[in-house]
Amino acid sequence: MEKIKIRVALSGNPNVGKSTIFNLLTGLRQHTGNWPGKTIEKKEGIYEKDNYILEIIDLPGIYSLTSHSLEEIIAREFIIKEKPDVIVVIVDASSLERNLYLLIQILELYSRVILVLNMIDLLHEKKYKIDIEKLEKKLGIPVVPMIASKGIGIGELVDKIIKVYKGELICKPEKIDYGNLEYIIENIEEKIPKNIDGYNSRFIALKLLEGDDIVKNICKERINYEEIEKIIGKREDTAISLANARYQWIKKILMDTLEKPKTPVITLSDKLDYIFTHPILGLPLSFIILGLVFWLTYTINNLLSDPLENILGIFQKFLEKYLLFLPSFWRALIFNGIWQGISILLTFIPLIIIFFFFLAILEDTGYLARVAFVTDRIMHILGLHGKAFLPLMISYGCNVPGIMAVRTLENEKDRILLILISSFIPCVPRILVSAFFANVFFPKYASLILLSLYFISFLSVFISGKIIRKFFLKTSFSPLIMELPLYKLPNFKIVGIYIWEKLKAFLQRAGSVIVILSSIVWLLGNYPQKNIENSLLAYIGKLFLPLLKPLGFNWQLISALIAGFVAKEASLSTISTIYQSSGENLRNILLKEISPLTAYSFMVIQLLYIPCAGTSATIYKETNSLKWTIFSIIYSLTFAYFISFILYIIISLFKTLL
């Protein structure tokens, strides 16, 4: 028998447990992508019961259906264009009043809606009482209480979705009365068709009164907008009046369905917040907790990297045996070019698993929002806000997970800015290369030199933030407005699914880019002759020599930088290959060939010049835009060049003066 498909959309505010419900329903039968042309994640999955297949789509978390953010526009357009069979609106039961605001707007657009009261246990913890039957009657739609983190209520939700689809449960949502604004709404409705582009006339009228630009433009194309403009007039406050009317309506609904205790109960969350958001204790505590996460992430990763490399080595030997029949150039390409790229890709796997395990826990428990609160002040120095703290911090280990963590920010332009400046944060491999040079050229002051590099990178983050904001994004970082969800225990099954999804998306979308880029760089070093001195790499190095000659560079250093694009530590091994020496010998050669000042310029360039292949691929995956990926590469190249040039001149001047 043919199975019946039901298309279900999940909607709700951020932090209401929407993705938990999505993950519980779909498990591993889900797919993550991006909304067309957007940096916003799109998640789809399926759930089967009896004769039905539920095709579930997780709409972005939103507070409203206006056109403030891309997320809201996506959700709105999905509802009217795709017309799902059922929309499930998920709300945080412990803060119903605010959460029902979104429900109202969805009901104005669509009627087959089921309301899920998630985290009903937190409502009980607050000693609130809710009459669900009465709420159903007053809203005119089915209501399902749920504790998603424990899987309670999922079955009932599925039953009700099927019943609504079959028409056994009827949704007849109550129409909201906007009081003295009703007559203006009706006036506008008379002037427009019953339906424009799938939006009903009432919704259009409301959005016009709220000053929604997208709806306004749709209207201007279709009808005589001037007449409507006359009706709306110069009212500045209608949007707020509408919001007020909605809240009044919600109050009326909740008046005899939700009972609150006379004196508010002090919950566990309140007590925890006393410590975690404390003006003096909060910040050091967050440093300790995040420092621990940082340390654990990279320590566990390092413990795993040796065994992983051994396994890869065994596998490589095994493969080599079976590919002996190939000509030697192809064998070399496969094992030194492609295979090396695959190894680099694979070494990211433990890092991503471990980091996202901690990130999921920080997010799920609600602590991450507190980190954003306590670090907000210091992030202001960089022109950012508190939510930027964790991504930047984790970038000091490796930029790849740092950039992936940028997803926790809401605003698209904020995310792009943060991604672009993250690549100026020196990851561990870059510091290792610098440390080698510092030890060779400034053995007495090595740590001071490294410290100066950290300072330069910090300054670069600061300056580039300003430049990119002012000239390229043309916007300031949005101020912090963030909900602090109640603390709760994470569900480890959900955490597992979350990690798996992140890893899968990384391998699928960044994987091929990393492998291709590193193969190209290998080819450069080995073509047309295996001898690196006659290779394309050397040729390109010599080509760019005039640009860097004033800083005392030779082509060998430039070729090393090009090779460093695969992975920053590769620049060191390339230098060693070019000079065909290592250890003490290499030291002596370098000291003879390069002046200390040139070495320092090299370190500065090496610190800033380009996001490595893995980072570039991640930037591409996260921004979903080739334009921003190329921008990041070109910008950082130019920036690094100018900074090192300026530093070179300043230091030279000092030397002649002294």
**Using the rule CB under 8 A, which residue among 96, 427, 456, 515 binds another protein?**
96
In a 13 Å sphere around the CA of 516, the CA atoms on its Cβ side amount to 7
Helices 626-657 and 412-422 meet at what angle, rounded to 10?
Answer: 40
Q: What are phi and psi of 56, to 5 degrees?
A: -105, 135
Q: Compute the least distance from the CB of residue 633 to another protein, in Å.
A: 32
Residues 16/90, Cβ–Cβ less than 8 Å = yes
Residue 126 DSSP class: T
CB 79 within 8 A of CB 9: yes
Nearer to another protein, 153 or 282 (CB): 282
Output 79 or 369, the one with its CB closest to another protein.
369
247: contact with another protein by CB under 8 A? yes
Choice between 481 and 657, CB closer to another protein = 481
Which residue among 155, 230, 235, 243 contacts another protein (CB under 8 A)?
243
Q: Is 244 in the site for another protein (CB under 8 A)?
A: yes
Residues 290-349 interacting with another protein (rule: CB under 8 A): none
Q: Is 407 one of the binding residues for another protein (CB under 8 A)?
A: no
What is the CB neighbour count within 10 angstroms for residue 418? Answer: 26
Residue with tokens 């991504």: 391
Q: Which is nearer to another protein, 97 or 259 (CB)?
A: 97
**What track of x and - describes contact with another protein for positions 469 through 498 (by CB under 8 A)?**
----------xxxxxx--------------
Six token digits for residue 60: 């972005």
Q: What string marks each residue from 100 to 119 as x (binds another protein by CB under 8 A) or -?
A: -x------------------
Nearer of residues 14 and 429 to another protein, judged by Cβ: 14
Closest approach of another protein to the CB of residue 225, in Å: 19
**Cβ closer to another protein: 112 or 385?**
385
Min CB(389)–another protein separation in Å? 12
For another protein, what does the binding mask look like between residues 509 and 548, x meaning CB under 8 A?
----------------------------------------
> Which alpha helices (DSSP H) does 212-335 contain, by range?
213-222, 225-232, 238-255, 268-276, 282-322, 328-332
Residue 422 CB, nearest distance to another protein (Å)? 21
Shortest approach of another protein to residue 374 CB, angstroms? 6
**3-class DSSP state for residue 199?**
strand
Nearest-approach distance from CB 275 to another protein, in angstroms: 11
Contact pick of 240, 326, 448, 651 for another protein (by CB under 8 A): 240
Tell me, residue by residue from 257 to 286, as one string, x for binding to another protein by CB under 8 A and - for no binding. ----------------x---xxx--x----
- Name the minimum Å distance from CB 84 to another protein: 23
User: H-helix or E-strand containing 206?
Assistant: helix 201-209
Q: Is 74 in the site for another protein (CB under 8 A)?
A: no
Question: How many residues are listed for the chain in this entry?
Answer: 658
Residue 215 binds another protein, judged by CB under 8 A: no
> Smallest distance from the beta carbon of 413 to another protein, in angstroms?
14
How many chain residues interact with another protein (CB under 8 A)?
Answer: 38
Residue 247, SS3?
helix
Q: Give the x/- contact pattern for another protein in 133-172, rule: CB under 8 A.
A: ----------------------------------------
Distance CA 201, CA 207 (A): 10
Residues numbered 547-576 forming contacts with another protein, rule: CB under 8 A = none
Q: How far is the CB of 92 from another protein (least distance, A)?
A: 8
Please say which residue, 239 or 304, places its beta carbon nearer to another protein: 239
Cα 172 to Cα 142: distance, rounded to the nearest angstrom: 10
Indicate which single residue of 19, 26, 39, 94 sits in contact with another protein (rule: CB under 8 A): 94
Contact 69, 76 (CB under 8 A): no
- Rounded to 5 degrees, φ, ψ at 336 are -95, -25
Q: Which residues of 478-494 are buried (b: 16+ CB within 10 A; e: fewer)?
A: eeeebeebbbbebbeeb
- Burial annotation 550-574 (CB, 10 A radius, 16+ → b, else e): ebbbbbbbbbbbbbbbbbbbbbbeb
Closest distance of CB 371 from another protein, Å: 11
Smallest separation (angstroms) from another protein to the CB of 139:
18
Sign of the four-CA dihedral 494, 497, 501, 502:
positive
Cα three-residue angle 418-419-422, rounded to 5 degrees: 80
Q: Closest CB to another protein among 207 and 568?
A: 207
> Which residue, 204 or 333, is less far from another protein as judged by CB?
204
Provide, rounded to whole angstroms, the least separation between the CB of residue 559 and another protein: 47
Q: How far apart are CA 628 and CA 270, in angstroms?
A: 42
> Is residue 21 a contact partner of residue 145, using CB atoms and an 8 Å limit?
no
Q: Which of residues 347-386 bind another protein (CB under 8 A)?
A: 369, 372-374, 376-377, 380, 385-386
Mark the segment that binds another protein (CB under 8 A) among 232-240, 434-442, 496-504, 550-558: 232-240
Please state, in angstroms and rounded to a whole number, the distance separating the CA atoms of residues 560 and 568: 10
Q: Please report where in the chains the tokens 């800015």 appear, as a residue.
A: 417
Residues 352 and 506 sit within 8 Å (Cβ to Cβ): yes
Kindly report the three-state secondary structure assignment for every residue of 549-561: HHHCCCHHHHHHH
Q: Per rule CB under 8 A, is residue 28 in the interface with another protein?
A: no
The reply on whether position 66 binds another protein by CB under 8 A is yes
DSSP letter at 147 equals B
- Which of residues 173, 198, 211, 596 is near another protein by CB under 8 A? 211
**Integer Cα distance of 626 and 351 in angstroms:** 25
Is residue 420 within 8 Å of residue 631, measured between CB atoms? yes
Q: Among residues 95, 21, 101, which one has the least CA distance to residue 486?
A: 95
Q: Which is nearer to another protein, 363 or 622 (CB)?
A: 363
Query: Which tokens belong to 627?
Result: 């334009």
- Interface with another protein by CB under 8 A: which residues? 63-64, 66, 68, 94-98, 101, 210-211, 236, 239-240, 243-244, 247, 273, 277-279, 282, 369, 372-374, 376-377, 380, 385-386, 479-484
